[in-house]
Chain A
Amino acid sequence: MFAYYLDLALRSLKRNKVLTALMVLAIAVGIGASMTTLTVMHLLSGDPLPGRSQHIFYPQVDASPAGYAKGGPLDMLDYRSAVDLWSAHRADRQALLAGSDVKVRAPDARVPPLMVPMLATTSDFFAMFKVPFRYGSAWTAADAASRARVAVISSNLNDRLFGGADSVGKTLRLKDSDVRIVGVMDAWRPSPLFYDVRAGRFAEGQTSSFYDKPEDVFMPFFSGLEVNDGNFWQFTCWGNVATPGHLQDAPCVWVGLWVQLDSAAKVADYRAFIAHYAQQQKALGRFATTQTRMPSLMQWLVFNHVVPSDVKLQTWLAFAFLAICLFNMIGLLLAKFLRRSSEIGVRRALGASRGAIFAQCLVEAGMVGVVGGIGGWLLTLLGLWLVRRQPVEYADLAHLDIGMLGLTFALAVVASLMAGFLPALRASRVAPALQLKTL
């Protein structure tokens, strides 16, 4: 029966090629636009650490003067609070981090000096965030304790400086110090770059920088602060900074602390711990408020509105666009089916049930959907290619995965079946006697 309906549908579609082409094109364009934007949305709003993000937290306390931080603590910590919390070792894993740009030169590579982003962090960083390594490994706790001049570099920097060869043991000149490479990361591209996400609520929707690549150089926190002293970035300051970029004793917040807490009890304990710390610091007169905050990783991303508003706007637009294409298709199908009223009347008179007419019409609509889905898939590939050519940080992420490919076809077929529903219903209600009379 289904094969017969397919044959009927094919005949009907062939009868008016221009109109069929128009319907297919409308579906294809609508699907192409919505799947392109949906893919980008999907990539930007995903979980950067699937399966682990619920154990990762970002504790915050507030060392700023009364009234300075509005609506909760500032997005980062002052040096002393950060080091206090970190050295208490109350979490399963914990990492301090501070960002800067550093001048890099590889003495034995023929590459001009570079300026690359560097992250000073503690050794748990790599295990906590499951950073993959191509060569070597993270530095040890002993390295960190002895303030060893060691570094982990990104695969990207390794390619640029050493042509992708194993560079473990080689020396890098970072600013004015020689640093030994102990590890080379494998390709690692969390989306967004969650551990550097902050200040999203002040960004007014321009948040594409949250999707930047990870830093190129990673150094142990305390030796990193020594090596690149004078270049560290502050988040904000409430007083004068004696030496810009040297913030250890400055009235600034500039250090991030991420912790891993493996059970609900530990989370509750840690919340109590930072609340107690804030009270103690207030009693000592160092804090003006006892406000604290400890969002989980995903809560922190939501709080920072990580998905850029341009992307959200485009997604809305694309779906409105798809809606218009569907209205268009409903109108055309309706006209098409009703035009065949006399043919339907004959089939009804010869014994076809209403259900059979309805199914036949839906098969025709579904066929348009399948062909439109193929067109939509091609247009989605084109759309993502265009996104990749855009000068935005997330451009290189825009690829179609299997799930989204399946969704493309599902959306095309479901959309066209929905569009076909009303016209098919109307067609199945055609009264056979009336049509036969006018023949």
Chain B
Amino acid sequence: MRLHPTLSALRQHKAGVLLIVLQIALTLAIVCNAIFVIGQRIERMNRPTGTVEDGLIRISQSWFGAPAGDDAASVEKLDALQRTDLATLRNLPDVQDVAASTSMPLQGMIYSGTLSLNAQQTGVAVSAAYYYGDEHLRPTLGVRLIAGRDFRADEILHRTLTGEAAPSVIIVSKPVAGKLFPDGDALGKTVYQDGKPATIVGIVERLQTPTTAKWGSAWDYNSVLEPIRVDGASASYAVRARPGREQAAMREARKALLAVDPLRVMPDSWGIQSLSQIRDKIYRADRGMALMMAAVCLILVVVTAAGIAGLTSFWVGQRRKQIGVRRALGARRIDILRHFQVENLLIAGGGVLLGVVLALALNLWLMTHYEMARLPLPYVGIGVLAMLVIGQAAVFMPARRASHVPPVVATRAA
């Protein structure tokens, strides 16, 4: 039996073997879960918004001394301010299109409500984010229209956020249409937004809601475009820059808007930002966590591999004489090499067996304490394979050194 000498050698180093087994098990448990976290965060960061992100800019600002009331005269005055800004932006050389727009994917500012099939709001109820804006909103965002039409200029209402006027037409995202009308005949149908009727005139393929927070994750692509230019002391716009002119358009927009009203509040931090900047900001914590986990995995694996290599080379040094005797009795170099490789495979095998149990237990603990998902088995499988390969790689150098011990050692004193 080839395994016999390996097993009996292992029995001589119970403590050392146990330590390596524990180390491999813990490393596997942590690395599996850490890689899973990395995978989840990357998946989250790669979700598409449904817009053409390159060249999309959000402007958010607030006027000083704007009318405060919600009487008709104040609303008209606020709307005039907003239309002046929109016209100013539209005339800029590097701006392709511009729209009144309260919200933007990833940005966080969200208005939402519930869509249902009757005024009493019984039966199907679909939560959705409302994107208020004008007829330019869909083309400016670059969201793909897959059925129906855009808003017409004469359909655009304007009012304060709490105003009474309700839109008669809306454009919904595909998931909203699908949930309200599973048969796929949503176009032209009347739905009720928080009890008020509106006709679906268009369907867009995909539009993420403005929030990435957990409370909105159950309906993260349920969006509705509303033909309403919202008037208030603050207003936001979506700007589509000409291809490759994003930075220039942002600079021009700042200059032009401040020329219209130098006293508006439009700070560098959130006044004018491109969607790529918004994306960068919103996912920075996820990226940080993924990078940290990756660093931890790498260091752990290196430490474990170094530990295996270190311990094995001690064993090799300790057993020089025995190796010499085995060589003198006819064992080939390859046999000695194999001996240490098989030994490591046995130890690593014990380690990963324990490690799989630990990994699943750790995952279970994380699931109860940190809202983590269940660890998919492929992750465990890859982890097991990786640990075995790392073990073999770590043991190779000391094992090769052992195989070069000459048989003559057997005849000398230790």
Q: Which residues of A contact B (CB under 8 A)?
A: 19, 22, 26, 29, 33, 103, 105, 112-115, 173, 176, 202, 204-206, 229-230, 241, 243-244, 309-310, 312-314, 317, 320-321, 323-325, 327-328, 330-332, 334-336, 338-339, 390-392, 422, 426, 438-439
**Are B263 and A105 touching (Cβ within 8 A)?**
yes
**Are A323 and B26 touching (Cβ within 8 A)?**
yes
What chain A residues lie within 8 Å of B15 (beta carbons)?
Answer: 334, 422, 426
- 5 cross-chain CB contacts under 8 A: A112-B263, A229-B68, A335-B16, A336-B314, A390-B288
> Would you give the shortest CB distance from B411 to chain A, in whole angstroms?
15
> Given the interface contacts A22-B306, A334-B16, does A317 sit within 8 Å of B311 by beta carbon?
no
**Are A103 and B23 touching (Cβ within 8 A)?**
no
**Are B23 and A321 touching (Cβ within 8 A)?**
no
**Are B265 and A103 touching (Cβ within 8 A)?**
yes
Counting chain B residues whose Cβ lies within 8 A of the other chain, the interface size class is 35 or more
Closest partner residue, chain B, to A325 (CB atom) = B303
> Would you give the shortest CB distance from A235 to chain B, in whole angstroms?
15
**Are A113 and B314 touching (Cβ within 8 A)?**
no
CA distance A321 to B304 in the complex (A): 11
Q: B213 near A: Cβ within 8 Å?
A: yes
**Are B299 and A339 touching (Cβ within 8 A)?**
no
What chain B residues lie within 8 Å of A204 (beta carbons)?
Answer: 214-215, 371
What chain A residues lie within 8 Å of B310 (beta carbons)?
Answer: 19, 22, 331-332, 335
- Which of A22, A105, A243, A314 interacts with B70 by CB under 8 Å? A243
**Are A29 and B299 touching (Cβ within 8 A)?**
yes
> Would you give the shortest CB distance from B123 to chain A, in whole angstroms?
23
> Would you give the shortest CB distance from A309 to chain B, in whole angstroms?
5
CA distance A330 to B370 in the complex (A): 32
CA distance A22 to B413 in the complex (A): 31
Q: B281 near A: Cβ within 8 Å?
A: yes
CA distance A257 to B317 in the complex (A): 72
What chain B residues lie within 8 Å of A338 (beta carbons)?
Answer: 318
CA distance A120 to B263 in the complex (A): 25
**Are A244 and B214 touching (Cβ within 8 A)?**
no
**Are B26 and A324 touching (Cβ within 8 A)?**
yes
**Are A205 and B314 touching (Cβ within 8 A)?**
no
What chain B residues lie within 8 Å of A339 (beta carbons)?
Answer: 314, 317-318
**Are A310 and B30 touching (Cβ within 8 A)?**
no
- Which of A19, A317, A330, A391 interacts with B285 by CB under 8 Å? A391
What chain B residues lie within 8 Å of A310 (beta carbons)?
Answer: 285, 289
What chain A residues lie within 8 Å of B303 (beta carbons)?
Answer: 26, 29, 324-325, 328
Q: B292 near A: Cβ within 8 Å?
A: yes
The interface centre, meaning the residue of B65, B213, B263, B292 with most chain A CB atoms within 10 A of its CB, is B292
CA distance A205 to B369 in the complex (A): 10
What chain A residues lie within 8 Å of B306 (beta carbons)?
Answer: 22, 26, 328
**Are A114 and B265 touching (Cβ within 8 A)?**
yes
Chain B residues touching A, majority SS: helix
**Are A332 and B311 touching (Cβ within 8 A)?**
yes
CA distance A105 to B262 in the complex (A): 12
What chain B residues lie within 8 Å of A113 (beta carbons)?
Answer: 64, 263-265
- Which of A22, A103, A309 interacts with B64 by CB under 8 Å? A103
CA distance A227 to B310 in the complex (A): 71
Q: B120 near A: Cβ within 8 Å?
A: no
Closest partner residue, chain B, to A176 (CB atom) = B65
Closest partner residue, chain B, to A323 (CB atom) = B26
**Are B23 and A328 touching (Cβ within 8 A)?**
yes
What chain B residues lie within 8 Å of A206 (beta carbons)?
Answer: 213-214
- Which of A176, A332, A392, A438 interacts with B68 by CB under 8 Å? A176
Closest partner residue, chain A, to B289 (CB atom) = A310
What chain B residues lie within 8 Å of A229 (beta carbons)?
Answer: 68
CA distance A418 to B64 in the complex (A): 65
Interface digits, B293-326 against A, CB 8 Å rule (1 contact, 0 not)?
Answer: 0001001100110110011001101100000000
**Are A390 and B285 touching (Cβ within 8 A)?**
yes
**Are A331 and B19 touching (Cβ within 8 A)?**
yes
* Beta-carbon contacts under 8 Å, B41-73 to A: 62, 64-65, 68, 70
What chain B residues lie within 8 Å of A112 (beta carbons)?
Answer: 262-263, 265-267
> Would you give the shortest CB distance from A250 to chain B, in whole angstroms?
12
What chain A residues lie within 8 Å of B264 (beta carbons)?
Answer: 113
> Would you give the shortest CB distance from A115 to chain B, in whole angstroms?
5
Interface digits, B403-414 against A, CB 8 Å rule (1 contact, 0 not)?
Answer: 000000000011
What chain B residues lie within 8 Å of A26 (beta carbons)?
Answer: 303, 306-307
What chain B residues lie within 8 Å of A331 (beta carbons)?
Answer: 16, 19-20, 23, 307, 310-311
Q: B161 near A: Cβ within 8 Å?
A: yes
What chain A residues lie within 8 Å of B278 (beta carbons)?
Answer: none
> Would you give the shortest CB distance from A344 to chain B, in whole angstroms?
14
What chain B residues lie within 8 Å of A22 (beta carbons)?
Answer: 306-307, 310
**Are A244 and B265 touching (Cβ within 8 A)?**
no
CA distance A19 to B307 in the complex (A): 9
CA distance A279 to B213 in the complex (A): 39
What chain B residues lie within 8 Å of A241 (beta carbons)?
Answer: 162
What chain A residues lie within 8 Å of B266 (beta carbons)?
Answer: 112
Q: B34 near A: Cβ within 8 Å?
A: yes
CA distance A338 to B263 in the complex (A): 78
What chain A residues lie within 8 Å of B68 (beta carbons)?
Answer: 176, 229-230
Closest partner residue, chain B, to A341 (CB atom) = B318
What chain B residues lie within 8 Å of A202 (beta carbons)?
Answer: 215
**Are B23 and A327 touching (Cβ within 8 A)?**
yes
> Would you give the shortest CB distance from A53 to chain B, in whole angstroms?
26
